[in-house]
Amino acid sequence: MNLSPLQKARYEYTPKLPGMLRSGIAEICVAEGSETSSVADQEKIRELFPNTYGKKEITFKKGQNTSTPKKQVVGVILSGGQAPGGHNVVCGLYDALKATDKDNVLYGFKNGPSGLIDDDYLIFDDSYIDQYRNTGGFDIIGSGRTKLETQEQFAIAAEVCKKHGITAIVIIGGDDSNTNAAVLAEYFAAHNTGVQVIGCPKTIDGDLKNDDIECSFGFDTATKTYSELIGNIERDANSAKKYWHFVKVMGRSASHVALECALETQPNICLISEEVAAKKMSLSQIADQIADSVEKRAANGMNFGVAIIPEGVVEFVPEFSALIAEINELLAGSKADTFNALPNWKEKYAFIESGLSKESMAVFAILPETIQQQLFLERDPHGNVQVSLIESEKLFSALVKDNLAQRKAAGTYTGKFNPLHHFFGYEGRCAFPSNFDADYCYSLGYNAFMLIQYGYNGYLSKVSNLSKPADEWVAGGMPITKMMNIERRHGEDKPVIRKALVELDGKPFKFFEANRDTWAVETAYTYPGAIQYYGPAAVCDLTTRTLALEKGE
Amino acid sequence: MNLSPLQKARYEYTPKLPGMLRSGIAEICVAEGSETSSVADQEKIRELFPNTYGKKEITFKKGQNTSTPKKQVVGVILSGGQAPGGHNVVCGLYDALKATDKDNVLYGFKNGPSGLIDDDYLIFDDSYIDQYRNTGGFDIIGSGRTKLETQEQFAIAAEVCKKHGITAIVIIGGDDSNTNAAVLAEYFAAHNTGVQVIGCPKTIDGDLKNDDIECSFGFDTATKTYSELIGNIERDANSAKKYWHFVKVMGRSASHVALECALETQPNICLISEEVAAKKMSLSQIADQIADSVEKRAANGMNFGVAIIPEGVVEFVPEFSALIAEINELLAGSKADTFNALPNWKEKYAFIESGLSKESMAVFAILPETIQQQLFLERDPHGNVQVSLIESEKLFSALVKDNLAQRKAAGTYTGKFNPLHHFFGYEGRCAFPSNFDADYCYSLGYNAFMLIQYGYNGYLSKVSNLSKPADEWVAGGMPITKMMNIERRHGEDKPVIRKALVELDGKPFKFFEANRDTWAVETAYTYPGAIQYYGPAAVCDLTTRTLALEKGE
């Protein structure tokens, strides 16, 4: 294996634990807090989780360890999309487990939750785990998107646990995976398996957070990586002075990533999907807003700029969602065959025109032809439009171009508009974790083992006070059910962890809102540069602007 | 201005000078070497540069400064595309100029060479220049692509210099800009203006190098930034285990960037344009080579991979260049109107089929339809195909997909192939310069002033021995004409600096060639991570693998 100099150096890094976990396993005791209730739909959630609902929040403190000695055999699972720091969760878990008793065993189930069902695993030892300390990626055991949600799966999982003598499962995942962890925990309790389940909050999207969970891991590193690139592009724009860069960033449902990148880099434009939905904005309104910035900057001689577009924004535009629904209806079943048989785009267009409502046709008509064709020609196996394939960065730059042509005709705009496009997603999900994520993740894993050792089930590993230095962090746990409510999913009422969207009255958005008119016109770019792992603390230990603002800092 | 923590920290960085420049201006003396001759076409070049040809190479040494005291008024110009470190060239130049005599003056001509012609400038002072130390971008004075090459332009330049009492011009640019610097130097000498011209070797493409110039500045930082992202993508590929990533990197004519990134990250595939041209490879051959890797990896259960594609590679495929030439001919003049009047793609396709040669039609036929349409529908103002717009990463993934379908039909391949696409260019041109580029650029600028002070004209600032620590670097200068030969450009014989392509018998390519078959099948990825400016020297001070291999290290 050919290791990079940074990878070798990162092996030497010692992640920082919260102060109360630093005195060694023998000196960690539990303080129980109040009983909890779910954020909404308390009766229904209680009914669905009779064995795990309403348990107490707990905090770890320095003090004599009073847990019952017991050989622990723990299984760990990485679930869903990669997030920087996942390896350190496993390392922290392993270190706490081995420090408690060197005969304890850690299983890693391979390639996501399916590894548990398929009984596909490895057993960690020092030499294996040491290769992954403070590194990015989920390649330590692989990840996967299989969902653990059926009774049949749970029964198999119980069998596999029994076979290996597993005492606890740690699931590292996002909101869906932790919802499933809670259901599995309840199943294990109801069936007296004796197996505990602990979740860890992972997702670069930043949408798994609430009053208890300050942030999910990976969000810090991923947004720092995207912000590095956006800052570099801003500097390029401000040097060449001739391009408008449209930068799409990951985030299908929530715009936390886009907002954090905007707070870090101060671009001319940043769309926020939650605002688009709340204000019921149309495509034209959004394009008009961007074109305003282009026009004002051009009037000051600046025919360049940077706009951040969240990946999922078009799905939040009401008129666009309506159009998609109509297209799906228009091509449902055998109607698609009629459409496909038409010999050319002109005839297809006529078919579309006669099939869409007047309102949706008006929306369709303003789209660039490449996107019009994509909506009709690239459909999923069920015949539905593949909204995730829509290149929204190109869509908006095309709409802005049309808008500017009108302004040019009207004589209000005389500038030049040369757009370039970028999409950043895979570039940040497997970066070496920042010091923050390396520390946070290691602490989450270490802490998860302490929750196991003290016998908790259906809990989320919780580390808070994260905007402060690590020694002031607070470690503990809370019942996953506390974060749940009932939502309609696929026609059924389901208990789920509520996804955290960008709050339009929250401090991060408010700060953005208060500054964006200035940023739209001036060149107020900030250049964060690459993530630093060494050097001054201000450069390498600070976490996100989002968290700092939320904490009022 | 809202400065990032890294930007603030980088202001405190002191760039390292070569040892012989470290004792202060009073202790820098000159050692003259042998007279030089151009790399080829000596007689013609001598004839074209009667006043500046054949001058001696020079090296600076520690010893008493014997230059003639003279008030220096220097103008500096940034030319062409951004490259990390440009600001430090200006800072080094400014510091040497002010250290020699605080009454010396540095002009910055704005937005490229046109600033000199338009007399558009600023005058540097400490507070202005301090904002740009060790930062990326060319925003200190802006850059531009105007070429200084006509006698009229030179006459205006001479006037502007006379008006301000300018004694020397420093041009920071690539091969073309330094060619023009040499011509300007000759003009100034022939017309006894007394104005000197010094060039500095800039380009992220890495194609301005030769026996004298070990590398151009910016190549180190840009390739490290791209390699960071490619490494992150490799780790993502190896975690998710379900995507093939096709990554295009900048480099229209030479593949140094692609090769350096491959040496840093060890991907499964990296195309090298120079090899494609030398072996006269066809599109199908290239696709077949990539598909071999996909098939072999799939046979080992690995339905994922990473391929690096140099931006300009399709232009090096002989059959593709022939196709482009035929298309340009087919649509020349009024023939385009006939084509455009055809009502749909089907009829257009028939027109194309009847107009292309059998060989070119065979090439055209295998292209994905989006690229077929692009070749005919998006043409430049002269009606020519815009080769630079061709998304070669998508072209090759589509050809590979077709190739794999044949293998599937033949029963040799049973895997899955899900391609994703990326293009990295603007992301790296304005990064904060690595310590190497910060040091190298500052040294180039400082050294450029010493060449001015000692009266040299038509010289390139030269710093060598770059794979060693900075105190062992060697500072000096060489006549730009030494790098020149005669090439045919736009139907005329022109004296130009020879562009350095990847040498297929050079050590970097040989190393790649010796390893690529293994990399194609195994997962031998290396993850470089983000550029580090602090921390262990192995992590933050090493320059490129290309240079290390060239130096036999």
**Does the beta carbon of A241 lie under 8 angstroms from any beta carbon of chain B?**
yes
CB contact under 8 A, B137 and A534: no
A408 CA: distance to closest CA in chain B (Å): 21
- Among A190-199, A491-500, B124-133, B303-312, the least confident range: A491-500
CB contact under 8 A, A530 and B528: no
- CA A270/CA A237 separation, integer angstroms: 16
For A309-343, the pLDDT digits (tens) are 999 999 999 999 999 999 999 988 888 888 888 88
Sheet containing B459-464, strands listed edge to edge, beginning at the edge strand earlier in sequence: B28-35, B56-62, B474-479, B459-464, B196-201, B168-173, B73-78, B105-109, B121-123
Q: What sign does the CA torsion over B273, B277, B278, B281 have?
A: positive
Confidence at B270, pLDDT banded by 50, 70, 90: very high
Average pLDDT of the residues in A234-262? 96
| Set of chain B residues whose Cβ sits within 8 Å of the Cβ of A4 | 231, 264, 526-529
What lies within 8 Å, CB to CB, of A192 at 6+ separation is none
Interface of A with B in 413-432 (CB under 8 A): 420, 422-423, 426-432
Q: What is the DSSP string of B108-136?
A: EETTSTHHHHTT-EEE--HHHHHTTTT--
Q: For chain B, what is the mean pLDDT? A: 95
Closest CA to A346 of B346, B39, B385: B346
- Token pair belonging to A421: 């496009």
Confidence at A403, pLDDT banded by 50, 70, 90: very high
CB contact under 8 A, A136 and B527: yes
Largest CA distance in chain A: 80
Specify burial of residue B345 (Cβ count, 10 A radius: 0-12, 13-18, 19+). Answer: middle
For the beta carbon of residue B498, count every other beta carbon within 10 angstroms: 18
Q: Which helix (H) or strand (E) holds B396?
A: helix B392-410
Size of interface A-B (CB pairs under 8 A): 209
| Set of chain B residues whose Cβ sits within 8 Å of the Cβ of A228 | 431, 530
- CA A542/CA A435 separation, integer angstroms: 9
CB contact under 8 A, A137 and B238: yes
CB contact under 8 A, B232 and A533: no
**Does the beta carbon of A236 lie under 8 angstroms from any beta carbon of chain B?**
yes
Confidence at A1, pLDDT banded by 50, 70, 90: low
List the catalytic residue out of A175, A176, A205, A212.
Answer: A205
Interface of A with B in 251-270 (CB under 8 A): 264, 266
B419 CA: distance to closest CA in chain A (Å): 13
| Set of chain B residues whose Cβ sits within 8 Å of the Cβ of A245 | 426
> How much is the pLDDT for A473?
98
For the beta carbon of residue B371, count every other beta carbon within 10 angstroms: 18
- Inter-residue contact A5 to B542 (CB < 8 Å): yes
CB contact under 8 A, A82 and B432: no
| Set of chain B residues whose Cβ sits within 8 Å of the Cβ of A543 | none
Confidence at B377, pLDDT banded by 50, 70, 90: confident
Closest CA to A471 of A100, A88, A21: A21
- Inter-residue contact B108 to B141 (CB < 8 Å): yes
Average pLDDT of the residues in B241-247? 97
CB contact under 8 A, A136 and B346: no
For the beta carbon of residue B471, count every other beta carbon within 10 angstroms: 11
Best of A4, A263, A394, A437 to disrupt the B interface (most B CBs within 10 Å) is A4
> How much is the pLDDT for B280?
97
- From A229, A346, A529, residue closest to B7, measured CB to CB: A529
CB contact under 8 A, B236 and A420: no
Indicate the SS3 state at residue A520.
helix
- This model of the complex carries an ipTM of 0.96
Confidence at B369, pLDDT banded by 50, 70, 90: confident
**Does the beta carbon of A537 lie under 8 angstroms from any beta carbon of chain B?**
no
Confidence at B206, pLDDT banded by 50, 70, 90: very high
Pairing type for strands A492-497 and A305-310 reads unpaired
- CA B351/CA A367 separation, integer angstroms: 29
| Set of chain B residues whose Cβ sits within 8 Å of the Cβ of A2 | 266, 524, 526
- Which residue in chain B is spatially nearest to A542 when comparing CA positions? B5
**Does the beta carbon of A99 lie under 8 angstroms from any beta carbon of chain B?**
no
Q: Which residues of B255-290 are buried (b: 16+ CB within 10 A; e: fewer)?
A: bbbbbbbbbbbbbbbbbbbbbbbeeebbbbebbbbb
More confident residue, B385 or B111: B111
pLDDT above 80 (res A377):
no
- CA A231/CA A222 separation, integer angstroms: 14
Long-range contacts, stretch A318-322, CB < 8 angstroms, 24+ apart: A318/A277, A318/A280, A318/A282, A319/A282, A319/A283, A319/A359, A319/A360, A319/A363, A320/A283, A320/A363, A322/A359, A322/A360, A322/A363
**Does the beta carbon of A434 lie under 8 angstroms from any beta carbon of chain B?**
no
- Token pair belonging to B250: 């900048």
Average pLDDT of the residues in B8-37? 97
- From A136, A139, A235, residue closest to B232, measured CB to CB: A136
- CA A62/CA B367 separation, integer angstroms: 67
H-only helix segments in A139-244: 151-164, 175-190, 219-240
- From A5, A135, A236, residue closest to B539, measured CB to CB: A5
Q: For chain A, what is the mean pLDDT? A: 95
Closest CA to B392 of B276, B304, B508: B276
- From B5, B427, B540, residue closest to A539, measured CB to CB: B5
Query: In Å, what is the CA distance from B392 to each residue of B252, B295, B320, B501?
Result: 12, 21, 12, 20
CB contact under 8 A, A232 and B527: no
- CA A182/CA A512 separation, integer angstroms: 36
A62 CA: distance to closest CA in chain B (Å): 33
CB contact under 8 A, A426 and B344: no
For B409-456, the pLDDT digits (tens) are 999 999 999 999 999 999 999 999 999 999 999 999 999 999 999 999
Question: Among all residues of B, which ones are annotated catalytic?
Answer: 205
pLDDT above 90 (res A117):
yes
- From B6, B233, B344, residue closest to A345, measured CB to CB: B344
> How much is the pLDDT for A386?
83
Whole-model pTM?
0.97
Interface of A with B in 142-181 (CB under 8 A): 142-143
| Set of chain B residues whose Cβ sits within 8 Å of the Cβ of A535 | 9, 533-535
Average pLDDT of the residues in B502-526? 98
| Set of chain B residues whose Cβ sits within 8 Å of the Cβ of A236 | 82, 137, 426, 429-430
A352 CA: distance to closest CA in chain B (Å): 17
- Among A17-26, B264-273, B333-342, the least confident range: B333-342
CB contact under 8 A, A142 and B539: no
CB contact under 8 A, A232 and B428: yes
CB contact under 8 A, B82 and A236: yes
B530 CA: distance to closest CA in chain A (Å): 6
Query: In Å, what is the CA distance from B27 to each residue of A415, B14, B22, B70?
Result: 52, 20, 8, 17
Confidence at B385, pLDDT banded by 50, 70, 90: confident
- Token pair belonging to B268: 């499964």
